[in-house]
Amino acid sequence: MYKVSLKARSQEFEYNCSPNQTPLKAARDNFIPFPTGCQRGGCGMCKVKVLDGEYEHELVRSHEYLPDEELNNRFALACCMTPKSNLEIITIEDYEKQNNRI
Ligand code: FES
């Protein structure tokens, strides 16, 4: 079991995620308000920046919402990834706010 530290909706959350579970599913199971949509890699609503930790990302995803450049820069779709260590992630919404990109 790994620990996930998540920043979402300007709040910080911590929860457990098993190695075969996505951080999105684990958050929803814990009633944490993780932005979500299709849960199949097609809408980009669950996009996060991984600030720390190791993970695997399924290659099945929408390139429109997660282009290769972002994938290679540790952006990920939380519905298409599994943890390989403890993770620190931030939703794209909070990441952009934090970096004044809106
Ligand atoms: S919920 Fe749609 S891409 Fe993850």
Q: How far apart are CA 54 and CA 29, in angstroms?
A: 22
Q: How many domains does the chain divide into? A: 1
pLDDT tens per residue, range 10-42: 999 999 999 999 999 999 999 999 999 999 999
The alpha carbon of 99 and the centre of ligand 1 are apart by a number of angstroms equal to 22
The alpha carbon of 100 and the centre of ligand 1 are apart by a number of angstroms equal to 24
Q: What's the CATH code of the domain at 11? A: 3.10.20.30
Write the DSSP string, 19-57: TTS-HHHHHHHTT-----S-SSSSS-TTEEEEEE--EEE
Question: Does the pTM exceed 0.85?
Answer: yes
Residue range of the domain that includes 72: 2-98
- Token pair, residue 81, equals 């990834």
Pocket test for ligand 1, best of 22, 66, 70, 79 (most atoms within 8 A of CB): 79
Pocket test for ligand 1, best of 28, 34, 46 (most atoms within 8 A of CB): 46
In this prediction, residue 101 has a pLDDT band, given cuts at 50, 70 and 90, of low
Q: Please check whether residue 97 is in contact with residue 71, taking contact to mean a CB–CB distance below 8 angstroms.
A: no
pLDDT reported for residue 83: 98
